Amino acid sequence: MTDVRRGAGARRLRAAALGVAFVLVVAACGSGRSAPTSTANTTPGGSSTPGSSTVVDASQCTSNLTQGVTGDTIKIGTSLPLSGTYSPFNAILKGESSYFSYVNALGGVTVAGKKYKIQLVSKDDAYDAARTSSNVDTLINSDKVFGLFNVVGTKNNLGIRESVTYPNCVPDLVIASGAVQWGNTQYPFMLGSELVPYPDEMQVFVDYLKKNKPNAKIALLYANDDFGQSYRDTLKDLVNNTSLAIVKEASYNAEGSDVKAQVTSLAASKADTFVLGGTLLACPNALNAAHDAGWKPLIYMSGTCVSKLLFGLGGDGADGVLSVTPLMDPGDPANASSAAVQLYKNQVKKYAPDADTADGIVAYGWSTAALLQKILESSPKLDRVSVMETARTLKDVSGVGLQLPGSKWNTNKDDWFIGETFQLVKYNKAAGHTEKIGSLTDLDGKTASLAPKSLLNS
Amino acid sequence: MALFLTQLMNGIGSGAVYASIALALVLVFRTTGILNFAQGEMALYSTYLVWFFTQRSVPVWIAILLAMIISFIGGALIERILIRPVEKASPLVLVIVTIGMFLAINSIAQVQFGNDIKILPRAYPNKTWLPGGVQISSDTLVLVGVLLAECLILYVLLNRTRIGLAFRAVASNPESSRLAGVPVGRMLMLGWAMAAAIGALAGALVIAPVGLQGASMQEILVYSFAAAALGGFDSPLGAVVAGLIVGVAGTMTTQYLHAVHDIELVVPFGLILLVLLVRPSGLFGSRRVERV
């Protein structure tokens, strides 16, 4: 006797097909790759108006250059993951909101002699570049913001390049990504934050290896998106013509954080050095997997993972891991006496009581907000072109947020990157915080030349 | 060889999780004929409950047990309240309802518990053994052990008890079962309840080593769907075998198939597509024959 259920077979098959479609859609949303690449091959400064010392060409702008400034308020927009795999980056928002609340309580920022309150409009994009685009569209055209601030993610910012460039001229300031694409001179309205540019990270680590481990055999793990690709491409470039070698590489799905099989594969390569070009949970997962495999390489981990929480999750595998940071570690007792750290801790405790003040991600948000204030206050006029021009001509900026003592941030016509002064650090598990290795690294003005040209102009 | 065996163990470890969630998918499909896209998110919510209890100093195994009990009740209620009214609707409506639940449960969990990474205490010590260079972790052993226990309990429940008999009757022919006096509605609720409880257990165990956050279960759900499709949506045995196959296929692809590195998710999708094209009923599923 056959199992008879009228139409059940066809019905279920159809449902299964729908299921596949759904699953495919979810995956497609996840694996959004980069925006269209431009073919231009310019060098920094190359697109500035001939015969002019300015970087930004105001004559190409048709938008209302003072949009978002009403009375004594400047409306600023941001888009970042508040849900999904990358939701832990919401800690950035806690840091920046605390800073703006703190500044507003003091009367606001002073631009051209007048005080303005900062109003931050934040939107969740779940790290999905398509949602970032739509958020940014809403922020610019409906919320009427003055500019964008600290939008998170490489592919997410690549996806909004056309919305912020000429003729819209919306400052996309202090982008939360260290990708070199922010040096593409076709897009002068985009500027990376104090995050260490990824090629600089690779440069300082390659220098470290040349000195301490000149024949290092490197295994590389990277996220399979534009972010991870930055590490892969620049590392490959820098290792060329040295005695260092990349012996094995593996990528992981950037929408997830399961890297166990990849790390097993890398561990088997007998590499003695491990570069981890991933972020958030993939970092501790990889450290744990390496530790479990009994693999004890010298490990370099992305600066985006410098966070008490992520180091903590890495357990024993996190001990001795190298990374870089442009900021003071708020979890390091040695910094506790710093006035900047005390201010940060007190204010974050006041305005975001649930945030962990020892966490580097919160400190990043706080410091980036301080950097925005610095840029706005240095601007001679409050309009989009002036502010962008100011951001592009920063001179020896110091003491911003938790900026490292002795660090100076510069930008100019030929230097499109801020976070080029930073500290190489090593995580000490027993102490529960990072420790400095050597003195500050200063690669000021060098990022564009360190990066593969194909990546810079992509 | 040691590398191959280590990757095999890695695959079995992941596969055991896919199998557990696939088992939950199959239980729901067997009883109500629905592909529950929210299965992973239900497990996510249950795992947040485990975290919630452990935050209040409940020992972790007790917390898991409590979460399983709550999930069992919650699963039954979801069936009764959300699914029953649309039970007879078109498959499209049912797909939309479960996808709606997927989004809703995920959002509710994040609103209720926040979107920071939560750290779950481990229910057992984290150990790794390296016999002959082959890496075996306590995670893999526990996940496989739990999967076996689930299978055993389900087998006994379904094949050796009156409830199981009624459950199977409903799965095979709800109309006749109703005529024979089987409480069909309650059996449908039981299917959803058991599925939710299994998901809770799998979620709590798999997430503990890696940190809990809103998207923790999404990638797992994709692989579990591949497993359920491969094994046959109406076959518990198929779900388990196929879960392990999908897990091992995933790690082996990472290790040996460089052509698809960067796009490992092609493995589960490829499997789903292949099965639907070649053998829609899956490896172990029963083929549906229609009388015209």
Chain B neighbors of A252, CB-CB under 8 A: 264
Task: Look at residue A3 and tell me whether its pLDDT is greater than 60.
Answer: no
CB contacts < 8 A, A to B, total 171
Tell if the CB–CB gap between A3 and B172 is shorter than 8 Å: yes
Chain A neighbors of B136, CB-CB under 8 A: none
pLDDT tens across B189-242, in order?
Answer: 999 999 999 999 999 999 888 888 888 898 899 999 999 999 999 889 999 999
Average of per-residue pLDDT values in chain B = 90
Tokens of B60: 């972790």
Find the residue in B nearest to A6 (Cα): B290
Q: According to the model, what pLDDT value does residue B174 have?
A: 86
State how beta strands A421-428 and A441-442 pair: antiparallel
Find the residue in B nearest to A24 (Cα): B269
Task: Look at residue B252 and tell me whether its pLDDT is greater than 60.
Answer: yes
Q: According to the model, what pLDDT value does residue A37 have?
A: 38
Q: According to the model, what pLDDT value does residue A41 have?
A: 41
Tokens of A247: 């012996």
| Cα within 13 Å of Cα(B253), Cβ side | 22
Q: According to the model, what pLDDT value does residue A38 have?
A: 39
Q: Domain ranges in chain A?
A: 58-195+332-419, 198-325
Tell if the CB–CB gap between A7 and B290 is shorter than 8 Å: yes
Q: According to the model, what pLDDT value does residue A211 have?
A: 95
Find the residue in A nearest to B247 (Cα): A261
pLDDT tens across A29-73, in order?
Answer: 443 333 333 334 444 444 444 445 678 899 999 999 999 999 999
Chain B neighbors of A85, CB-CB under 8 A: 213-215, 218
Mean pLDDT, residues A442-451: 91
Lowest mean pLDDT segment, chosen from A21-30, A222-231, B50-59, B110-119? A21-30
The residue type of B180 is A
Q: Which has the closest alpha carbon to A95: A369, A307, A400, A328?
A: A369
Is the Cβ–Cβ distance between A83 and B110 less than 8 Å? yes
Among A1, A11, A12, A311, pick the best mutation site for testing chain B contact (most B Cβ within 10 A).
A12
Chain B neighbors of A31, CB-CB under 8 A: 263, 265
Tell if the CB–CB gap between B229 and A16 is shorter than 8 Å: yes
Is the Cβ–Cβ distance between B120 and B51 less than 8 Å? yes
Task: Look at residue A348 and tell me whether its pLDDT is greater than 80.
Answer: yes
Q: According to the model, what pLDDT value does residue A2 have?
A: 41
Question: How close A125 comes to chain B (CA, Å)?
Answer: 13
The share of chain A scoring above pLDDT 90, in percent, equals 78
Tokens of A430: 């027993």
Among candidates B209, B222, B233 on the partner chain, residue whose Cβ is nearest the Cβ of A27: B222
Tell if the CB–CB gap between B219 and A22 is shorter than 8 Å: no
Task: Look at residue A20 and tell me whether its pLDDT is greater than 60.
Answer: no
Among candidates A15, A84, A251 on the partner chain, residue whose Cβ is nearest the Cβ of B214: A84
- The more confidently predicted of residues A49 and A100 is A100
Question: What is the pLDDT confidence band of residue A6, given thresholds at 50, 70 and 90?
Answer: very low
Tell if the CB–CB gap between A85 and B218 is shorter than 8 Å: yes
Tell if the CB–CB gap between B288 and A3 is shorter than 8 Å: yes
Mean pLDDT, residues A194-221: 96
Q: How far apart are CA B113 and CA B18, in angstroms?
A: 25
Task: Look at residue A175 and tell me whether its pLDDT is greater than 90.
Answer: yes
Among candidates B10, B128, B273 on the partner chain, residue whose Cβ is nearest the Cβ of A261: B10
pLDDT tens across A106-136, in order?
Answer: 999 999 999 999 999 999 999 999 999 999 9
Among B3, B5, B9, B10, pick the best mutation site for testing chain A contact (most A Cβ within 10 A).
B10
Question: How close A227 comes to chain B (CA, Å)?
Answer: 13
Q: How far apart are CA A410 and CA A408, in angstroms?
A: 6
Residue B116 main-chain phi, psi, to 5 deg: -85, 165
- For domain A58-195+332-419, the CATH superfamily is Response regulator (3.40.50.2300)
Chain B neighbors of A15, CB-CB under 8 A: 34-35, 91, 94-95
The share of chain B scoring above pLDDT 90, in percent, equals 61
Among candidates A16, A251, A284 on the partner chain, residue whose Cβ is nearest the Cβ of B262: A251
- For domain A198-325, the CATH superfamily is Response regulator (3.40.50.2300)
Q: According to the model, what pLDDT value does residue B132 have?
A: 86
Chain A neighbors of B11, CB-CB under 8 A: 261
Mean pLDDT, residues A96-103: 97
Question: How close B38 comes to chain A (CA, Å)?
Answer: 12
Among B32, B96, B108, B254, pick the best mutation site for testing chain A contact (most A Cβ within 10 A).
B254
pLDDT tens across B104-157, in order?
Answer: 999 999 899 988 888 888 888 888 888 888 989 999 999 999 999 999 999 999
Task: Look at residue B272 and tell me whether its pLDDT is greater than 90.
Answer: no
Q: According to the model, what pLDDT value does residue B290 have?
A: 66
Q: According to the model, what pLDDT value does residue A35 have?
A: 37
Tokens of B220: 């797992």
Cα-only R_g, chain B: 19
Tokens of A106: 């003091």
Q: According to the model, what pLDDT value does residue A7 have?
A: 46
Find the residue in B nearest to A1 (Cα): B289
Among B6, B31, B37, B262, pick the best mutation site for testing chain A contact (most A Cβ within 10 A).
B262
Domains A58-195+332-419 and A198-325 share a fold: yes
User: What interface predicted TM-score (ipTM) does this complex get?
Assistant: 0.85
Is the Cβ–Cβ distance between A195 and A177 less than 8 Å? yes
State the residue for tokens 């888009």: A79
pLDDT tens across A71-93, in order?
Answer: 999 999 999 999 888 888 999 99
Mean pLDDT, residues B42-47: 96
Average of per-residue pLDDT values in chain A = 89
The DSSP call for residue B81 is: I
Tell if the CB–CB gap between A9 and B92 is shorter than 8 Å: no
- The more confidently predicted of residues A30 and B160 is B160
Tell if the CB–CB gap between A264 and B269 is shorter than 8 Å: no
Q: How far apart are CA A429 and CA B174, in angstroms?
A: 59
Among candidates A4, A84, A292 on the partner chain, residue whose Cβ is nearest the Cβ of B291: A4
- Quote the Cα angle for B114-B120-B122, to 5°: 175
Chain A neighbors of B265, CB-CB under 8 A: 27, 31, 253
Question: What is the pLDDT confidence band of residue A22, given thresholds at 50, 70 and 90?
Answer: low
Task: Look at residue A27 and tell me whether its pLDDT is greater than 50.
Answer: no
Chain B neighbors of A16, CB-CB under 8 A: 35, 229, 233, 276, 280
Strands (E), A312-420: 322-325
